[in-house]
A and B are shown apart, each in its own frame.
Chain A
Amino acid sequence: MSDQTQATALLSGLKVVVLADRLVDFGGEMLARLGADVTLADTGEVTEIRQAAWHGGMRSSPASSIPLAELLAGADVLLDDRRRNPRPEVDALAASHPQLVHVVATAWPEGQPPRPATDLTLMAQSGLMHVIGTAEDPPLRLPGEQAYALTGIQVATAALMGLRARARTGRGQRIPVSALQSVTLANYREAVMYEWTGRIGRRVGNKLVRGASGVRQVWPCADGYVTWSMIDNPGMMRAVVRVMDEEGCAGELAGIVWEDILVADTDQQIIDRWQDIVGAFFARHTRAELGDWSLKLGWGLSPITKLAEVPDSPQMQARGIFVDTPQSKLTRGPLFAVHPEGQSA
């Protein structure tokens, strides 16, 4: 059995019903892609992108065709999205199925006054937007619908937790999930940093600030960009400078004993001068050349792949992540690889 087949069989036999309004979409898709039999019973309005991106593997059954009561007979899990619709009738119906794991997703935590919310406004509350972008421009979100996706993962997690609990107790339960908390959980730094140091993170663009100075994270090269930073890792710095020296372009970097200095405590003007030397070297080489050196020599550098290039990257191809459809290549491959017993990765 292939890794992909294994991944799509983990939840075989599980029956899931989904009432979707963005917060549970990806959660339903995750369960479907892991082998559950997932019926999408309500979606609200659907765009082509939403359907293609977040409804893979789910069977569509509009609410008008089969009553929810009928769909819930024999169901293990109900994903109940209440971003806009409070669905007051569903609780009693779900409660009449004591085995059912009933996951209720709301934008704001349940019990608090409901508020209209979208991916953008949820992301705004996470503390992440405040630190994405540059100081001179407005805050930016992470690309795509990350607040919805993060909530969807937590919805799937909550459903699986409910199933583990059911295996012990013999009963399902009603599990509220908050999108506000789901997206805030992704921000592991800003609140705790403020709470313990009083510091508030700011937008610093592509600069990586460590100690008294900042270093670049993004560099132009011959055919695009790479990401790499001059950090306090002597072995990595020696490995980069060695190749630069072989090409006769290491300049003053060749004479630096990296173990004897701390880049984080070095004067910004000196760092900028060193970075100019590195930048000139990177500019002469392609992403592939620099990426190959990094893989072989441990530079910690990575090419920056354009979105359109990702589906055809050798790694994505090898792992079967994208599936060709008539319209586009979609992320319908396994969520992760599964290597069965008796086999190694």
Chain B
Amino acid sequence: MTGALHGLKIADFSWVGAGPRATKDLADNGATVVKIESARRLDLGRRSPPFAKGQSKNHDASLFFAQTNTSKKSVTINLSDPAGVEVAKRLVAWADVVVENFGPGYMDRIGLGYETLQQIRPGIILASVSVAGRTGPMAGFRGYGNIAAAQSGHADMTGWPGTEPHMPPLAYGDVVAPMFLTVAILSALEARDRTGQGCHVDVSQIESMVHVAGDLFAGMPEEKPANDDPVMAPHGVFPCAGEDAWIAIACEDDSQWRALCAVLGAGDLATRHPDAAARRAAAPVLSQALSDLTAARDGATLEQALAAAGVPASLVLDGKGVAESTALQAAGHFAPTDHPVIGPARMPAPPYDLPDTPVAITASPCLGQHNAEVFAEIGLSADDIARLTKEGALA
């Protein structure tokens, strides 16, 4: 059985995180994704930690790169060389979709703007992702995913009430925007099937982060909500026994609240604060009372007891907890791969299962690993490849 996107061809000019995470989705689902790279302008993802066996100078040893580029092929093309651009044009002619996340205007400057792409391959879909999108007064803005947190209201709304804005500890825009890019590409393919027309889908990291904060814009809170919820109470994290050990608890209704109190042996709390409005009004007192009740408990035991009682509760996992999560392992969340430099490694899998057209995850490519295979497929002879490699166009 082949993947859902078997037969789809992607010329992937994207790098680092925001583009490659989308093309990983496509590749894991069976599309042929050719990643256009260059040793002369190395994908910064290849320089990003952690590295297998500490090999920080080896451009094939980055686990960051490996998990962002599973199931793809890699070719090296020097896009600053006109002969390299001509080879890239052959890949465009081969492809259904071109993906890029370069700085503003770069594709035009190297002669691969959307108009040119359409001339080469009528019906082509160009998929771009950038900080602010390709139009509007910020179209020229250069930056990274964390800028999107600043411009979307996320930084303003993260943190505890009364504190300064808080930047997320990861480039969340580099996570959310590629998910939108995947949806954009798949939707554009649907439209092309129906109309025969391609298009340029233009995803903005700021906008993607705005869209996933729809509830904040609908409610427009004046203060940071931290872990609070406008309806549910209690709704927060509470200490457990051990260093930096916490459990998240949320009561969606009064029956869950009563069950929580029963598990904690706090029947008086249940009767004193019978409904969510009363609990929200007494939030600081209640939070302290619940913290006193959970602080000496073993988190895992408490989590199990609360789940059995029908109360939404989960340990706050750290990186170790996620890596060792039995639920994730049983779900096949980490797919085994074997990489020639990294060795055996687990790579994140899509969170869905298509039984008739299954996901298949293979190791990320080494730099230029598929030059001979891909360049032959787009019509270059062995002599052409050798000459262009020697001249630096395929490097």
Contact B318 A200, beta carbon cutoff 8 Å: yes
Please measure, in the bound complex, the distance between the C-alpha atom of A336 and the C-alpha atom of B170, giving whole angstroms. 23
Contact B204 A305, beta carbon cutoff 8 Å: no
Please measure, in the bound complex, the distance between the C-alpha atom of A341 and the C-alpha atom of B113, giving whole angstroms. 12
List residues 154-185 of chain A with CB under 8 A from any CB of chain B: 154, 156-158, 160-165, 167-169, 171, 173-182, 184-185
**Known contacts being A10-B190, A109-B327, A336-B180, is A218 close to B155, with CB within 8 Å?**
yes
Residues of A in contact, count (CB < 8 Å): 143
Is the C-beta of B224 less than 8 angstroms from some C-beta in chain A? yes
Smallest CB gap from B347: residue in A: A192
Of B182, B187, B217, B320, which contacts A311 at CB under 8 A?
A: B217
**Known contacts being A169-B357, A331-B210, is A191 close to B155, with CB within 8 Å?**
no
Stretch from A87-95, A241-249, A274-282, A312-320 contacting the other chain: A312-320
Q: Give the chain B neighbours of A162 by CB distance below 8 A.
A: 4, 354
Contact A295 B140, beta carbon cutoff 8 Å: yes
B305 to chain A, nearest CB (A): 12
Is the C-beta of B207 less than 8 angstroms from some C-beta in chain A? yes
Contact A345 B151, beta carbon cutoff 8 Å: no
A286 to chain B, nearest CB (A): 15
Please measure, in the bound complex, the distance between the C-alpha atom of A296 and the C-alpha atom of B2, giving whole angstroms. 49
Contact B220 A132, beta carbon cutoff 8 Å: no
Please measure, in the bound complex, the distance between the C-alpha atom of A3 and the C-alpha atom of B164, giving whole angstroms. 37
Ranked 10 nearest A-B pairs via Cβ: A190-B319, A181-B351, A345-B134, A318-B136, A109-B331, A124-B248, A194-B319, A143-B157, A160-B186, A307-B153
Q: Give the chain A neighbours of B135 by CB distance below 8 A.
A: 3, 318-319, 337, 345
Is the C-beta of B146 less than 8 angstroms from some C-beta in chain A? yes
The size class of the interface chain B forms with chain A is: 35 or more
Is the C-beta of A255 less than 8 angstroms from some C-beta in chain B? no
A75 to chain B, nearest CB (A): 15
Q: Give the chain B neighbours of A132 by CB distance below 8 A.
A: 158, 166, 168-169
- Please list 14 pairs of residues, one from A and one from B, whose beta carbons are closer than 8 Å in the complex, sorted by A's number: A120-B227, A124-B237, A125-B322, A142-B172, A164-B186, A174-B355, A187-B322, A196-B50, A227-B149, A304-B150, A304-B155, A307-B220, A337-B204, A345-B135
Is the C-beta of A303 less than 8 angstroms from some C-beta in chain B? yes
Chain A 316-334 interface 0/1 with B at a Cβ cutoff of 8 Å (1 = within): 1011011000001111000
Stretch from A57-65, A66-74, A144-152, A259-267 contacting the other chain: A144-152
**Known contacts being A295-B140, A318-B137, is A112 close to B322, with CB within 8 Å?**
no
B312 to chain A, nearest CB (A): 4
Smallest CB gap from A202: residue in B: B244
Of A103, A201, A227, which contacts B150 at CB under 8 A?
A: A227
Contact B227 A188, beta carbon cutoff 8 Å: no
Q: Give the chain B neighbours of A197 by CB distance below 8 A.
A: 49-50
Contact A127 B155, beta carbon cutoff 8 Å: no
Please measure, in the bound complex, the distance between the C-alpha atom of A143 and the C-alpha atom of B370, giving whole angstroms. 42
Stretch from B79-87, B195-203, B278-286, B373-381 contacting the other chain: B195-203
